[in-house]
């Protein structure tokens, strides 16, 4: 297999300082310009993903200046439908119509920002759109409102990829866009070509999915995979750890299936290095990605397909051991 061109990105804030539940940060904060400068010191990374927080929107001129200065692509911009109190009961699926209209207005603002930055993708991670208790949600109304809002966005902006990021829980105990199957179903109901899915490796693990199988599901559901977020965790929580530090073998199968299904998009490092230096933790993830993908470069795909057809667990285990030694 020929070596695949690497396309690694990072969420801008990941190279800075971040808060956990108990401490606002463990190191000094960084401004937007400093964050771009830190990203530029990681040689494997050629792009950034952004979150359209009020602060970043206020710094939009700095974003333009710094991405040009460091020749960085803006891969995706996420709407901030999760960090503000106004989304307490949801955004695009909120029970109050005025809140849903506010969310759509915010999406308009983010799409304009996307166009300023030559960014083709709007990310929607609707972390507040869900519920916590039984008898708290009108499931039919919420899913209908969500589907209608997404269809409206896709119709209004046919030149923008509207990328749905799924996650089974957090901050709600139950999120509406929860699993790979739910995300694929929602795309089918929206029925617009620009409605696609983001696969976050850690979110798939948290939902007890096998990320490689999730890649295959999105392929056969209409080639829905448009973007990838990369991190690791212990499956009990969205720990957002250094790539490959826990699920090394799962990563190898994941990369195999990305190659087999023809994925050619970006992989964005999405982690929360609470106690580590953010820049150094991101650089370590980029190094892991490069090393793991290099192992897939050397694969004999005919051999792999032969092993899969046999469905022999012992031969599969032998193959993985040999792959680790290669």
* Residue 1, pLDDT above cutoff 60: no
pLDDT at residue 15 in the model: 97
Residue 314 belongs to a domain: no
Mean per-residue pLDDT over the chain, rounded: 96
Residue 324 belongs to a domain: no
197 is in which domain, residue-wise?
A: 8-299
**Which among 265, 267, 254 has a CA at the least distance from the CA of 217?**
254
- pLDDT tens-digit profile of 212-246? 999 999 999 999 999 999 999 999 999 999 999 99
- Give yes or no for a contact between 197 and 229, defined as CB atoms under 8 angstroms apart: no
Question: Rounded to two decimals, what is the model's pTM?
Answer: 0.97
- What CATH number should be reported for the domain holding residue 249? 3.20.20.150
The Cα-based distances of 244 to 99, 122, 201, 232 in angstroms read 40, 27, 11, 6
Domain count, the chain: 1
Residue 205 belongs to a domain: yes
What is the mean predicted confidence (pLDDT) over 168-178? Answer: 98
Q: Please count the other Cβ atoms lying within 10 Å of the Cβ belonging to residue 302.
A: 8
Handedness of CA 39, 44, 47, 48 (dihedral sign): negative
């Amino acid at each position: 297999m020929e070596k695949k061109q690497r396309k690694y990105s990072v969420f801008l804030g990941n190279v800075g300082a971040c808060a956990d539940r108990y401490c606002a940060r463990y190191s000094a904060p960084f401004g937007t310009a400093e964050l771009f400068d830190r990203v530029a010191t990681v040689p494997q990374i050629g792009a950034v993903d952004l979150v359209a927080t009020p602060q970043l929107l206020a710094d939009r001129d700095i974003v333009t200046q710094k991405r040009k200065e460091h020749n960085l692509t803006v891969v995706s911009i996420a709407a901030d439908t999760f960090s503000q109190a106004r989304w307490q009961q949801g955004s695009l699926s909120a029970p109050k119509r005025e809140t849903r209209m506010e969310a759509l207005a915010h999406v308009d603002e983010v799409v304009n920002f996307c166009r300023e930055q030559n960014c083709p993708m709007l990310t929607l991670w609707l972390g507040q759109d869900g519920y916590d208790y039984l008898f708290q949600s009108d499931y039919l109304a919420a899913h209908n409102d969500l589907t209608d809002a997404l269809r409206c966005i896709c119709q209004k902006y046919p030149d923008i990829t509207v990328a749905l990021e799924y996650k089974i829980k957090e901050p709600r105990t139950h999120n509406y866009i929860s699993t790979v199957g739910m995300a694929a179903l929602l795309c089918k109901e929206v029925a617009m070509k620009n409605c696609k899915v983001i696969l976050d490796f850690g979110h798939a693990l948290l939902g007890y999915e096998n990320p490689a199988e999730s890649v295959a599901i999105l392929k056969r559901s209409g080639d829905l995979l448009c973007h990838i977020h990369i991190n690791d965790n212990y499956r009990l929580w969205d720990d957002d750890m250094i790539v490959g530090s826990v699920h090394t073998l799962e990563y190898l199968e994941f990369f195999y299936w990305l190659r087999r299904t023809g994925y050619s998009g970006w992989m964005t490092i999405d982690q929360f290095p609470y106690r580590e230096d953010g820049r150094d933790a991101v650089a370590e993830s980029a190094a892991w990605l490069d090393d793991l993908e290099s192992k897939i470069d050397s694969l004999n795909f005919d051999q792999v397909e032969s092993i899969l057809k046999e469905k022999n667990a012992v031969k599969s285990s032998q193959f993985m051991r040999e792959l680790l030694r290669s």
